[in-house]
Amino acid sequence: MKSIAAIDLIDNQVVRLVKGKLEDKTVYSNDPIETAKKWESEGADGLHLVDLDAALNTGKNNTDLILKIIEAVNIPIQIAGGIRTINTVNKFLEKKKFINVVLGTMAFKEPEIIKKMTRKKLCRIIIAVDHYNEDIMISGWKEFSGMKLFEAIKLYQEVGINNFLLTNINKDGTLEGPDINTIVKINSIFKNINIICSGGISDITDIIRLRNTNCYAVILGKALYDKKITINQVQKVI
């Protein structure tokens, strides 16, 4: 299992939200590039960069900052948040070979675009299955996509995508523990699938529980920033 450090961005700051709500925002750093370098130096296997301004339609974006972070580190990066055009996808994918792009709203509003992608490009796409009671939510978690969790995974695995970012919205930013039952259920139904788990991690015990589900990777967010776990501790048990 891989450890991926989250860097959520609003107005060029590193923040964490609770259940995606702007009113529940905590600012952790005014220097996202240094934060990225810090997680790289501590041994993270990758970074998860989220442009929350773009995702939540605040009227701003952090694209230039994300491009600077890409140049500043040498570990794999997955980019998420408000990526809603094929031009944006291509702009990120052409930067470096170790960049992957996370698609949520675009994937569920314009699935035909995904279906037309080349096999080479599909390997670098991660579908965000952000769910609330198994309803896939899009547009900054404000809108029901019309699809259920397992239906969505089946659809995109048939298209040729095997990487899925699973976020239980009820767990996000809560430190209440990961959604173990859903991961186990997904792995029992779908084969050759990579589940990246996000949301609810509170301590090293949660990491061990996730490892035992054959989860592909874990996103480290609030627990990492609140110093409830360290990347070194995580690396020792995964």
Which one, of 87, 8, 5, lies nearest residue 39 by Cα?
5
Residue 29: which domain range?
A: 2-237
CATH of the domain at 123: 3.20.20.70
pLDDT exceeds 90 at position 19: no
Which one, of 228, 234, 177, 222, lies nearest residue 7 by Cα?
222
Tens digits of residue pLDDT in 61-80: 999 999 999 999 999 999 99
pLDDT exceeds 90 at position 201: yes
Q: Give the DSSP per-residue string, 155-217.
A: HHHHHT--EEEEEETTTTTT-S---HHHHHHHHHH-SS-EEEEES---SHHHHHHHHTTT-SE
- 59 within 8 A of 27, measured Cβ to Cβ: no
Which one, of 209, 210, 207, 174, lies nearest residue 195 by Cα?
210
Q: How confident is the model at residue 18 (pLDDT cuts 50, 70, 90)?
A: confident
Looking only at the bridges linking them, the beta strands covering 194-198 and 163-168 are parallel
Tens digits of residue pLDDT in 142-184: 999 999 999 999 999 999 999 999 999 988 888 899 999 999 9
DSSP 42: T
* For range 15-25, the mean pLDDT: 90
Backbone angles phi, psi at 55, to 5 degrees: -65, -40
Q: For residue 174, what pLDDT is reported? A: 86
Q: List 130's β-bridge partners, or say none.
A: 167
pLDDT exceeds 90 at position 97: no
Catalytic residue among 130, 172, 179, 206: 130
Catalytic residue among 8, 45, 179, 206: 8
Determine the 3-state secondary structure of 69 from DSSP.
Answer: helix
Determine the 3-state secondary structure of 61 from DSSP.
Answer: coil
Q: For residue 21, what pLDDT is reported? A: 86
Structural domain count of the chain: 1
Tens digits of residue pLDDT in 44-54: 999 999 999 99
Q: Mean pLDDT over all residues of the chain?
A: 95
Tens digits of residue pLDDT in 123-153: 999 999 999 999 999 999 999 999 999 999 9
Q: For residue 96, what pLDDT is reported? A: 78
Question: Residue 188 burial by CB count (10 A; 0-12/13-18/19+): exposed, middle or buried?
Answer: exposed
Whether the CA torsion 140, 20, 141, 39 is positive or negative: it is positive
Does residue 130 have an active-site annotation?
yes
Q: What angle do CA 81, 70, 86 make, to 5 degrees?
A: 45
Does residue 8 have an active-site annotation?
yes
Cβ contacts of 76 within 8 Å, gap of 6 or more: 45, 46, 47, 98, 99, 100
Q: For residue 20, what pLDDT is reported? A: 87
Which one, of 220, 223, 221, 227, lies nearest residue 1 by Cα?
220
Q: For residue 4, what pLDDT is reported? A: 99
Alpha-carbon distance of 90 to 132, in angstroms, equals 30
Question: Residue 224 burial by CB count (10 A; 0-12/13-18/19+): exposed, middle or buried?
Answer: buried
* For range 210-216, the mean pLDDT: 95
pTM exceeds 0.85 for this model: yes
Q: For residue 95, what pLDDT is reported? A: 84
